Structure 1
């Protein structure tokens, strides 16, 4: 298994902005303007068709971005699909008490990748719009035929009912309830990934450096039966709101901490400590001609890592 580095712009309000997504050797590279799909093993790159213009930015700047992407595979047909959530409109209403509320209209589109022939010429809208606003720029997690998006409680204006999932078979939306955490889930500080055939969720504290992170696992979206596997104390990752799962083995879990660190959490044997943390800003890139390129700290702000297995899937 190789690790694919992801260099992207960073905004303090959303650490997870436009992460890479992967499925069977295909990579999705989303940006503010659109997305590309590539297969590093075959050197094929597919630029997806243009999308609709974004809604105008809010004057306050409290909401950043207007769309979120995801990549997955329809288990029934075997087709690979890219989904895009977007805000048709998003308006901010100031309240007398000093806060604000939002009005919005939502939409979603799906595009099917063709075997060897590129992609559909047009995005097609889902039969029904998403049931809940999601965090823009937060790339969806693919798990057993569905894409899971993170709800945006600030825009929603109340506690979210759960994670928003999109079935890649019938292209219909639904809601997957979160686990019964000790405290209310802070969806903005949570993160999830598919690890060893299970859906894993790290549910963090609502405030930086406070409390702990609970790690939960779910074997199937039907019924969403969550099991708490680990409780991680905050002292190791002080100042960061969330841990983000990357990959796992029988004895350890690799997690991303903040914008540029990796942490190897040992499941058993000893207490976790700072010695298991790696600073990815010291990364070196070994090119095919055996030259080494070192990336200096001041040339990047955020680095992300995903698991990757090469394949010959055609796009």
Structure 2
């Protein structure tokens, strides 16, 4: 009973934090939209908020979430900030994938619960970088873990922007000490460089950040605190860059570079992204899962 009560408390607290973070980011992004744009005379963008439901095979309640998408804004050409809390039984393919990753008991018991926040922003100004962030908690009757991270995806890179973003990710990591005997930031930066690599293009999709998965040190409170810090450092990492670049003049060549880079981003998310695969295989709302795709992209 104690274990069940503790698990329920952990789920409630994690889901509430991810929802709070979602609300905080949505408000900040709409605040940026209220700023005038030198190169776009449209109205300030606002998020369209839609409840989502996870489809279960037997029609029973399997949770859902909130899909928040802004399209055609002054500064955000498209941005999604989604929150979810889902549960149920994994489909055989997802169950087999989890079992292959070594999740304890998954081969025998496919029940799960998961909650998290997922964000992707595609900016109007080609000089303003696209960005991705997500954090999540996953639970099964025999295991729990956290995962997530954030990475920057400029089509026109500015080294000082890259340095700022990475400094904030390091600031999220450093108070929590080493991980598996290694410097936490160094380890998670290398993991991001590996994870966000596009093998068929032989290049990274952006300039990196941090990434982690299957985080269970045995101390739930410590791992949850770290995950909260990753989320809390997102706005300080990204918003100053969006503000700095929002009115920078651009050319048609800059826009071309942006659209081609978005094609690269789409390729990664459709072919390799673990979250995209999991969301589609577990019956979550397809529009919410695929909100990460850019509004316009180009291939050459």
- TM beyond 0.5: no
Q: TM-score, normalised by structure 2?
A: 0.31
Bigger helix fraction: 2
Bigger strand fraction: 1
Q: TM-score, normalised by structure 1?
A: 0.30
